[in-house]
Amino acid sequence: MSAPVRESDRERTVAVLAAAFHAPVDAVAALYEREQAALARAARVTTYVHIFALRQVEEVLRRRDRETGRDELDARAGPVPLSVG
């Protein structure tokens, strides 16, 4: 069975990732939901699916930054669009 993740914890974590990667919170939340659902479908044990989903979202955001030549710490550039589809 899956350990329930409190909504407030998920929202806080998504907000932190969005701020760290200068991405819209809604886009990061949608990406998290997509990754979490995909992992949950394939998982036999779902206890830690939320952790793996967050790691996957972080990797997607890092990849986006590498592909756009953006440094994670470059706060001057403002948000970069995140394609979720």
Q: Which residue shows structure tokens 């030549």?
A: 69
Is 3 a residue whose pLDDT tops 90?
no
**61 and 82 Cβ atoms separated by less than 8 Å:** yes
pLDDT above 70 covers a percentage of the chain that reads 75
Contact 10, 50 (CB under 8 A): yes
pLDDT bucket at 52, cuts 50 / 70 / 90? very high
What band does 68 get if pLDDT is binned at 50, 70 and 90?
confident
Assessment of whether the complete model's pTM goes beyond 0.85 = no
